[in-house]
Structure 1
Amino acid sequence: MTGDSTTADARVVTACELLLDDLDAVTLEIAQLIRDDEPYYVDYMSRQQLADAIRPNIISSLQSMIRDEANSPTVARRTGRERAEDGVPLATVLHAYRIGTRYLWHELVRHCRPDPHASQALLGSASILWHSLDMSSEALATAYRDIETEQNFRDSRFREAALAALFSGVTTTGRGLADVAAALRLPKVGRFVVVASDPQSMEWSRSAESAERALASLGVRSVWRSEADSELGLVALTKTYRADRLNRYLASITTGRVGVSDVFESIVATPQAVTQALLARDAARPGTNVVMRFDEARVAALVTAAPELSVGLAQRTFEKVLDLPSEERGVLFDTLEAWFEAQGSAADAGNLIHCHQNTVRYRLNKLAQLTCRDPRNPVDVTRLYLALQAVRLLPEQTRG
């Protein structure tokens, strides 16, 4: 018979009906074959559960033979959705389909073999069975991937919400940060740091996944989130991968400013560490490539944390200096910065900026005259230092 007929040869129909009459035994046998060939199903479901799951597919395949036309892929689509939701690998599901179809074919051949005419008729209908397998496999795979895409979308949205909660400390689900950390597969206690960098300032910062992979290759667990003005990361340190090693690694890949918080031991302290890391990053001069630890940036962090006060201090302290031409102003600020770095030594400051110590003294005296601040007075020194930090860290605001 051909696919244009309403039913297959009567002898093929009889063979199919015999299998349908013995459906319980057929499905159990196929279930066992699948479990033997695909160990995944041994842990996934019992033999009887698997037999019940494949029953609609067996019925659909045999009915397609009886009608002598490819079956509707409705059952296959449902199977694809269900297996995707349960997390069964697609290749495993498709292999199970082939095992079942192969068994049905062998059983049909066995029933038709005694009658040469029945065997000949079965060969004429063989294309229906295998065409149905192809159609079902395609429909199953499409439905499976649709569910997989939906799951990935849900997972990515959940992950994004979890990361936002972790770094901000604000959850919209009522779950605590410890629960959020568990969802992200992070330990609740340990030794952690938060890293904050300028956007796109690290080699792998184009995606959170690449950042995690880069550190995971070093045996370090981390999670990352891209925000409008920063890249944020929580890094779980280990006994062999401590903060100093992380800092060296960050320095080797950064092309901008990176701030690192103090080490903390409870995951619930992450939001406070985010503040530290951002303050440490902002304490570095804009446009520089540097890894700044919060412990090293506390004074500068005070400046950036109160920008209005800091800008006011700088403008009031350096009012006359800021009116000078750009080049002259820059020379005076560079000299003052070198003098601070040299801990008040004119000779060492001169070495840093490649000039004679007397030149350093001359420039400092000029600054003292312009600012009415004496570098020998501790109070004036403190004011000059903070005002200089404001000029370096907030250049556009301080220069109006």
Structure 2
Amino acid sequence: MSIETRRTVRDELIADLEGVTRVIVAAVRAEIPAYDSLQPAQLDEVAAIAGWGASRVLDAWVEDSALDESDLLRFRGIGAARALDGRPLPVVLRAYRVAGAAVTDLVAARAVERLEVTDALALARLWMASIDALSEALYAGHSATAERLGADRERALQELLDDLLTGRHATPAAIADRTRELGVRLPAHPVLVVAALPGGRDADDWWRRLVTGAETERAEAPADLLTRTHEGLGVALLPPEPHAVLARRLAAASQPVRAVALADHAVRELPRAFRLARHALESVPARALVGPLAGSHRLLDDADAAVLAVAAGHRDADPSALHRLVLGPLGENRALLEGLDAFLATGNAADAARTARCHAQTMRYRLRRIRELTGRDPRVPWDRLVLELALLGAPAGAGAQQPVRRASRHTVGP
């Protein structure tokens, strides 16, 4: 064992502590989705803790010692802070395991030829002992704070929804444990509803009653429904139901609601779906919101959100997915696809028929079938844009694509 060699390696790493910290944070963000979605201020905090933790472990390695009481007290405080900001304990513990592996890899990469076997074993033993000690401290701080917060079940349910929308869970098992503790059954493919709320009312209660139908049926809203309001937005996770049913419910609201409902997304896909929904509400033009009832807004769906993302070059834009969402129901029917392309190019059925070299009555039949299968009418400006971008987003060999399952929606026009 060479303490001097350990000290030299430690000093080299500490001299580049900023670079070491970047490597650790990058490893944690790559391995754990919850950390990749953190805000800049939160990432700065993660970096500060990573730098301090790496320094303390390397010091203890050189001194052939262990984490002391002051270190463990700090870890207990970190655990309490993570409970307050809603980061689940399994995610936090996994982050420290990933960080430990990153530090070990850095030591090996820099000094594998200078260290003896006893030095490497000492670092491995130290890290295992440190993980045990800091895990207990983190657990104590996290559980004590979580127990205090858990007394307010409504707040706990809202925090669960926040965590699902930001990806703050390490594994499906962590989600299952938390929902079981709260007595909530989460659908495998829930409907995510996001709405811009009108002001001047008790938003939380009104929103909960609206999305469950209690506002119009004078019934009680389910106690364990995952809903919340924040910064003018209402969010809810609902069991699967037809898009048209939900659209009628929101259209009957006492005040008009501008909303988007995204269906058939797995729980792990909710962060991306939420980003798309929020972007849709922020960027949707008025012509896309004309509802079937006077003064109401049409309920936007996955295709609407996908079009707005593609048009804006949003980070989650996916032209191929848009093509499947909108035109998937047409399958491999080249006559319908060519008829749609001809109509979009000419703007009327007669000219489209000449372009497609078919009878005008045949073209009108094709357009009717397109409306029936896609729920989009190419004569309506917004639907025309949706169909146009979907057609342009066709991947190579799109004719062989299979139809995708999609939520039903109102058909516009005859």
TM-score of the pair, normalised by structure 2: 0.39
Higher Cα Rg, which structure: 1
